[in-house]
Amino acid sequence: MHPRTLARLASLSTHLRRAPLSAHAKPMSCTAVPPDNSTFQLPPLNFAISPVPKKNPSDKGRHIKTAAALIIGDEILNGKTLDRNSNYFARFCFEHGIHLKRVEVIADDEAEIIEASRRMVQTYDFVVTSGGIGPTHDDITYASLAKSFDQGLVYHDETLARMEESGKYRTWVSKQSEEQRTARKRMALFPDAAEVIFVASDIWVPVVRLQGKLCIFPGIPTLFQKMLDNLKPFLPLPPEEERPFRLQVFTGLPESSIAPFLTDLQKRVQPEGIRIGSYPVLQKGVYVSLIGADRGRVHQLGVEVEKEVEGRVVTEAEAEAKRQLGCQ
């Protein structure tokens, strides 16, 4: 196997959550290295979570209204890896009343990372990056973002300590050369003015926040999703009353048949801040989406839409299931 592939697999394995000890497993001493076999279970991690600051991290002391995502990685652009993180982030933003305005996918290129990150931080309230924080030569996100905001790079001691703790019982870690250990430590080399937030007790990797609004995440979807969800207490999210409500009506009529009605409806409700959308499923029908902050008003309009398009209100789960079938 290619050395770079081995290094990548090694770095990814350090991120995986440890399984709990079985009822018959014996505790090991701190210096012991476990046998290299498939039946050994690593003891669970239990790191401290960062305290939630009382001060709003937004420079204007207000709630997040707009967001953008910067997906970094050649493997996304060349089709080797499917990007799941932007979709999860879009759902996160909708659920919490944040308007996701932009998603960009860029290469592992310093100039592109610098340009995009500066532009997004100047334009949006909340920016996330995904990918490019591993131990290999093409993992340049931390270094590029440090340059973007005129910062140096410094090893973060607590992250290094957690990294060591997470690898203490892994045989491959004990066999690493000095060069390999140095490469692994690159994952704890952060911009020197960054805020480092530990959001999960079983993950040593922190969320690194710059300028109070740009949050750096790993590209692994399971890590990205859990860390984003756990970051909520550290974000000035919009209050419940500002969060949108979505109602969906399914109809078997063709989209062209309902288009005039939907156009007129959108013009009528636009002053109320309600958005109307239509989403066809090939040879199955159309979903009409109504989104607004006033649940009562959205439900009222839903009754009108049901009648006009000869459809019925469906749940989010039912709509998602039908869409998945339509993609097959």
Mean pLDDT in residue range 43-47: 88
Torsion, Cα 129 132 138 143, to 10 degrees, reads 70
Based on the structure, what is the number of domains in the chain? Answer: 2
With vertex at residue 187, the alpha carbon angle to CA 91 and CA 217, rounded to the nearest 5 degrees, is 10
CATH number (domain holding residue 207): 3.40.980.10
In a shared domain, residues 222 and 249: no
Give this prediction's pTM: 0.80
In a shared domain, residues 201 and 160: yes
CATH number (domain holding residue 293): 3.30.70.260
Backbone angles phi, psi at 98, to 5 degrees: -100, 135
- Give the domain extent around 127: 57-234
Assess contact for 300 and 306: CB atoms under 8 A: no
Q: Has residue 184 got a pLDDT over 60?
A: yes
What digits encode the pLDDT tens for the residues 215-243?
999 999 999 999 999 999 999 999 988 89
Q: Which two tokens stand for residue 113?
A: 């990372």
Task: Report the run of H or E that residue 78 belongs to, with start and end.
Answer: none
What digits encode the pLDDT tens for the residues 140-150?
999 999 999 99
In a shared domain, residues 179 and 141: yes
**Alpha carbon 152 to chain centroid distance?**
26
**Lowest-confidence range among 24-33, 155-164, 188-197, 252-261?**
24-33
What digits encode the pLDDT tens for the residues 145-164?
999 999 999 999 999 999 99
14, 135, 136 from 9: Cα distances, Å: 9, 10, 11
More reliable by pLDDT, 206 or 25: 206
In a shared domain, residues 83 and 225: yes
For residue 71, give the nearest of 97, 42, 103 by alpha carbon. Answer: 103
Q: Which two tokens stand for residue 89?
A: 């982030």
Q: Which of 199, 234, 269 is the last residue of a domain?
A: 234
* pLDDT more than 90, % of the chain: 70
